[in-house]
């Protein structure tokens, strides 16, 4: 899961997807991590508004630590899931080949296929924006779990 700072959207998405992977008994098959395209917040825990919003839904993201996306992530992961078009452009800039590019997906395309809808950045708004974003992440991750289950069955 990749956003700009790795302190708001992508850590919430990491926490939600990890919870759903556990509930679906897919821990053995799926590894989840997150990163940001910028290094500014590297080493920080998630934004307190992201922590409290996730906590309200029973998801503990308080111990996650921000890091910057690197080209090695294309080798470590099968999917690089970005939150908006600018994350998409930034990640694609570091791609080495068409296989890397193929791994990059927009999160909300799981819940709304081919829409390329952005997950809005809640950083500069109030806490209600975090709840709205959480609900969008939750819905997209439900669809992502179904897609992963299908992939695993076919492999
Ligand atoms: P995120 O939110 O990309 O969802 O983690 C942001 C975090 C930090 C900044 C912008 C967005 N920032 O400008 O520092």
SS3 of residue 104 by DSSP: strand
- Is the shortest distance between the CB of 152 and ligand 1 below 6 Å? no
Q: Which of 42, 123, 125, 136 to mutate to test the pocket of ligand 1 (most atoms within 8 A of CB)?
A: 123
Domains and CATH numbers, the chain: 2-154 (3.40.50.2300)
| Contact by Cβ (8 Å): 15, 54 | yes
**Annotation says 3 is catalytic:** yes
End-to-end CA distance of the chain: 22
| Catalytic member of 47, 73, 84, 121 | 121
Atom of ligand 1 nearest to the CA of 10: 4
For residues 143-147, average pLDDT: 98
**Annotation says 60 is catalytic:** no
Atom of ligand 1 nearest to the CA of 5: 5
- Is the shortest distance between the CB of 7 and ligand 1 below 6 Å? yes
Tokens of 66: 């921000």
110 confidence band (pLDDT: 50, 70, 90): very high
pLDDT tens-digit series, residues 23-78: 999 999 999 999 999 999 999 999 999 999 999 999 999 999 999 999 999 999 99
Please list the residues that pair with 35 across neighbouring strands: 2
Q: How far does residue 108's CA lie from ligand 1's centre (Å)?
A: 18
- Is the shortest distance between the CB of 3 and ligand 1 below 6 Å? yes
- Is the shortest distance between the CB of 49 and ligand 1 below 6 Å? no
Tokens of 60: 């503990």
Q: Name the pairing type of β-strands 80-82 and 35-36.
A: unpaired
6 confidence band (pLDDT: 50, 70, 90): very high
Q: What is the per-residue DSSP string for the chain?
A: -EESSSSSHHHHHHHHHHHHHHHTT-TTT-----EESSSTTTTPPPPHHHHHHHHHTT---TT----B--TTHHHH-S-EEESSHHHHHHHHHT--SHHHHHTEEEGGGTTSTT--------TTS-HHHHHHHHHHHHHHHHHHHHHHHHHHHH-
7 confidence band (pLDDT: 50, 70, 90): very high
The pLDDT value given to residue 37: 98
For residues 123-137, average pLDDT: 97
**What percent of the chain lies above the pLDDT cut of 90?**
99
- How far is residue 18's CA from residue 57's CA, in Å, rounded to a whole number? 13
- How far is residue 152's CA from residue 154's CA, in Å, rounded to a whole number? 5
When the pLDDT of each residue in the chain is averaged and rounded to a whole number, the result is 98
**Annotation says 84 is catalytic:** no
The pLDDT value given to residue 48: 98
């Amino acid at each position: 899961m990749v956003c700009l700072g790795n302190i708001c959207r992508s850590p919430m998405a990491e926490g939600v997807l990890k919870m759903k992977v556990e509930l679906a008994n897919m821990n053995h098959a799926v590894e989840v991590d997150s990163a940001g395209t910028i290094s500014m917040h590297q080493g920080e825990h998630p934004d307190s508004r992201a922590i409290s919003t996730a906590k309200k839904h029973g998801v503990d993201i308080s111990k996650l630590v921000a890091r910057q996306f690197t080209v090695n992530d294309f080798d470590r992961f099968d999917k690089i899931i970005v939150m908006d078009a600018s994350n998409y452009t930034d990640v694609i800039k570091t791609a080495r080949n068409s296989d890397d590019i193929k791994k990059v997906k927009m999160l909300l395309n799981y819940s709304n296929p081919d829409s390329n809808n952005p997950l809005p950045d809640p950083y500069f708004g109030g806490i209600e924006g975090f709840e709205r974003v959480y609900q969008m992440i939750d819905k997209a991750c439900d669809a992502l779990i179904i897609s992963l289950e299908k992939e695993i069955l076919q492999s």
